[in-house]
Amino acid sequence: MTLISVARRIAAVIDSAQDGSRLTLELQRVSETPSLPSQAQLHAWALAALSEQSGPVELVIRIVDEAESQALNRDYRGKDRPTNVLSFPFETPPELPAEAAGNLLGDLVICAPVVAREAAAQGKSPISHWIHMVVHGVLHLQGLDHQNDAEAGIMEALERKILASLGVADPYQIEKET
């Protein structure tokens, strides 16, 4: 990591914190994929997914290549392939009091090449799929899941509501049509 990239990361975190937002976003761009969303876009999408969340939170979004996504997916989920988004909720270590966590929500790791491929395969605009992945990941960080039909129904309904508020079509309807 260069001094310039560190300075940009620090400036981005400071800018997020000073705008009065309920969300402080640290963006880490590791992928060289062209046409990635801006920090402002990612911030707006994540904030929309926090509509039910009370109080200010801190979030890291790391945009990665397939090698890093695959390694993380293998190490943390036992699946040896790259994936679109991974969510790592912050967990306070047992030796620390709960208040030590402050307002840390967690980390999202988004694989840019996988998101681009999925958008093309599903006939979605790349930006719509990026929005979906950010919203989906932030909902996971807030404790929602889709391990069974009941959980999936709740999470997908909330995703649809948030995505509609951002002008994005129902991603699950699109997937069923393709």
- Under DSSP, the state recorded for 19 is T
pLDDT at 156 over 60: yes
pTM above 0.85, yes or no: no
**Residue 131 located in a structural domain:** yes
Which range has the worst mean pLDDT, 8-12, 115-119, 171-175?
8-12
Average model confidence (pLDDT) for the chain?
86
Q: What is the pLDDT of residues 96-111, one digit of tens each?
A: 777 766 788 999 999 9
**Residue 117 located in a structural domain:** yes
Task: Write the burial class of residue 31 (CB in 10 Å: 0-12 exposed, 13-18 middle, 19+ buried).
Answer: buried
**Residue 4 located in a structural domain:** no
Count how many domains the chain has. 1
Q: What is the pLDDT of residues 63-117, one digit of tens each?
A: 999 999 999 999 999 999 999 999 999 987 888 777 766 788 999 999 999 999 9
Q: Which two tokens stand for residue 27?
A: 């963006």
From the CA atom positions of the chain, what is the Rg in Å? Answer: 16
Q: Is 132 annotated as a binding residue?
A: no
Q: Is 43 annotated as a binding residue?
A: no
Q: What CATH number should be reported for the domain holding residue 30?
A: 3.40.390.30
**Residue 14 located in a structural domain:** no
68/55 Cα distance (integer angstroms): 32
134, 61 Cβ separation under 8 angstroms: yes
Question: Among 106, 94, 102, which Cα is nearest to 142's?
Answer: 106
